[in-house]
């Protein structure tokens, strides 16, 4: 399965998710399908970091569309919520920053500290602590900024990168993240089937990601960027002025 196919699946399932929000204004089967989208987007960011020829340009592109998408996003969520959040592009951008910071610390800073300061300390443990501090900091920033999916979304982007060379560990980490995401809700609601279905569909993307063959396929770089704010704005206009509830 190519990157192109994964992106198309993510776009379709994301549209289903948002269509369900616009129609029902509460959790519906459309939202079950929508749980497939974000993990694929998160995985694509980790792949983008590994394969981009210009990281600075990649970051600027993500940030630019985060800003462009914010007004359509606010308008769309106003259909069913008064909550003010930052859209998914901000989440993905922070995930990219978390990967970059970890990579920078891993390659440069941790090695210098290892040599100069802690010759007698357990090197592996210390490096892990130092390397993960920036990731934790970015997750906290994401929570304070109220990005979509919060710390969970940022950490998921990072996990796909961190376990890029170990599929078993990546699968275990991903499933653990899904349990964290919905486990508390499942228990608190007395094993409500709604949250069980959300959890089940949240796990599904890992099977698709495991089928990824490392190839790009057809190039649709800007289609996804444009599709996100465009479909949010179209749904808002349709359900606020045409299909008035």
DSSP string, 79-146: TT-----B-HHHHHHHHHHHHHHHHHIIIIIHHHHHHHT-TTS-HHHHHHHHHHHHHHHHHHHHHHHT
Distance CA 234, CA 238 (A): 6
Candidates 63, 140, 131; CA nearest to 96 is 63
Give ∠ CA 96-97-103 in degrees, rounded to 5: 90
Task: Chunk the chain into consecutive blocks of 10 residues (it has 245) and report each block's average pLDDT, rounded to whole numbers.
Answer: 93 96 91 96 95 92 96 95 93 97 78 52 64 92 96 97 94 95 85 91 95 85 90 94 68
Residue in the block written with tokens 């990072």: 158
Whole-number average pLDDT of the chain: 89
pLDDT of residue 218: 82
Quote the number of domains for the chain. 1
The H or E element that residue 221 is part of is helix 221-237
pLDDT in tens, 88-134: 999 999 999 999 999 888 776 655 655 555 444 455 666 677 778 89
Range of the domain at 195: 3-242
Strand partners, 147: 86
3 state SS of 65: helix
């Amino acid at each position: 399965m190519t990157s192109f196919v994964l992106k198309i699946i993510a776009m379709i399932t994301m549209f289903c998710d948002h269509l369900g929000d616009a129609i029902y204004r509460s959790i519906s089967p459309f939202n079950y399908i929508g749980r497939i989208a974000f993990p694929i987007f998160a995985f694509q960011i980790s792949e983008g970091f590994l394969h981009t020829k210009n990281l600075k340009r990649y970051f600027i592109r993500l940030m630019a569309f985060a800003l462009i998408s914010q007004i359509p996003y606010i308008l769309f969520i106003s259909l069913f919520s008064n909550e003010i959040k930052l859209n998914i592009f901000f989440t993905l951008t922070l995930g990219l920053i978390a990967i970059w910071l970890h990579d920078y610390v891993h390659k440069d800073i941790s090695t210098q500290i290892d040599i100069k300061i802690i010759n007698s300390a357990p090197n592996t443990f210390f490096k892990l602590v130092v390397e993960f501090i920036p990731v934790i900091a970015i997750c906290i920033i994401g929570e304070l900024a109220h990005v979509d999916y919060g710390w969970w979304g940022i950490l998921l982007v990072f996990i796909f990168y961190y376990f890029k060379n170990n599929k078993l560990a990546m699968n275990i980490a991903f499933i653990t993240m899904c349990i964290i995401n919905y486990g508390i809700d499942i228990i608190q609601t007395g094993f409500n089937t709604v949250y069980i279905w959300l959890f089940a569909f949240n796990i599904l993307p890992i099977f698709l990601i495991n089928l990824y063959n490392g190839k790009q396929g057809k190039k649709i770089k800007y289609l996804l960027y444009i599709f996100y704010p465009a479909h949010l704005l179209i749904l808002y206009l349709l359900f606020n002025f045409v299909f008035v509830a």
